Structure 1
């Protein structure tokens, strides 16, 4: 699949709408990106606005993958630490690959682009992310060079009686 990744693209209305569509499509395909299906783009927009505000304030960077027609197929938000003892690593949030291209290597390309982006930032030597247990995501991230460094049992409630572990993963970058 031919996907072009850009760090810090201009946030145009088309890009904003593309990310919102991606986020709702991933969520409705049971993706673990902060929502439980069913969701609408109206459900997603307030959270997207929080991410965009953080970007405007310089605390978050956006990595987006698009096909040759400009359709948003993948995205991840890289959040910088403002704590003076933790500025050497960043968080990766809301990692998304459109369901129509999952299993085609786009997720691996996205995570490689995340590592490249982290390397390009002054002083960043590590990446931290969390994922929802019971989804297979920790195996995927491990195959991308991350290692599990922590787990909080039953920290995520996805439905009545359905609790999942919150898994913390780490990758060093050099």
Structure 2
């Protein structure tokens, strides 16, 4: 069964708890989403609050994917660039699919929902993201149409002696493009 996606859903305690649990589960399964395992939902919550502050200021949009039971199964945050010379692109952060749903095409569906949401925003011509090297995430994003446009060697310290590249990727948006089909 497919996920159902919502953009900027009403935010309540259940959604907050669902996102923090998802974030902890993804991290603890080895996901590169800003933490290193082990982590608890309580440790994640302050980072979610930063995204919520951006949502309250209308500079961040939340995309939530729910599974057939209505549970939070995937998320991504689109954040407007505040620099006056760079407002024509948007960043995507904290892209997550619950480990129990991985390998079922839900990551691609989430990225298609991200593209569709960005296409609905006035003046946005591209989506930019960064990912941690050594995880394979760059290959996944490339398969979704993103191109590597930069790399900062050893920018991320996962642990003492374990440094990873910060990979910068970009997806130019084309009006009329079908989300999820980079061949358009």
Q: TM-score, normalised by structure 2?
A: 0.93
- Deviating above 2 A after TM superposition, structure 1's stretches of 4 or more consecutive aligned residues are none
Superposed displacement of residue 10, structure 1? 0.4
Aligned to 1:145, the other structure's residue is in SS state coil
Give the Cα separation in 2 of the matches to 1:119 and 1:132. Answer: 26
What is the match of residue 106 of structure 2? 106
Aligned to 1:36, the other structure's residue is in SS state coil
Q: TM-score, normalised by structure 1?
A: 0.98
What is the match of residue 66 of structure 1? 66
Aligned to 2:53, the other structure's residue is in SS state helix
What is the match of residue 5 of structure 2? 5
What is the match of residue 36 of structure 2? 36
Aligned to 2:96, the other structure's residue is in SS state strand
What is the match of residue 76 of structure 1? 76
Q: CA-to-partner distance for each residue in 1:47-90, whole Å, 9 max, x for gaps?
A: 11111111111111100000132100000000001212111110
Q: Which runs of no fewer than 5 residues in structure 2 stay unpaired? A: 175-184
Give the Cα separation in 2 of the matches to 1:89 and 1:166. Answer: 19
Q: Which runs of no fewer than 5 residues in structure 1 stay unpaired? A: none
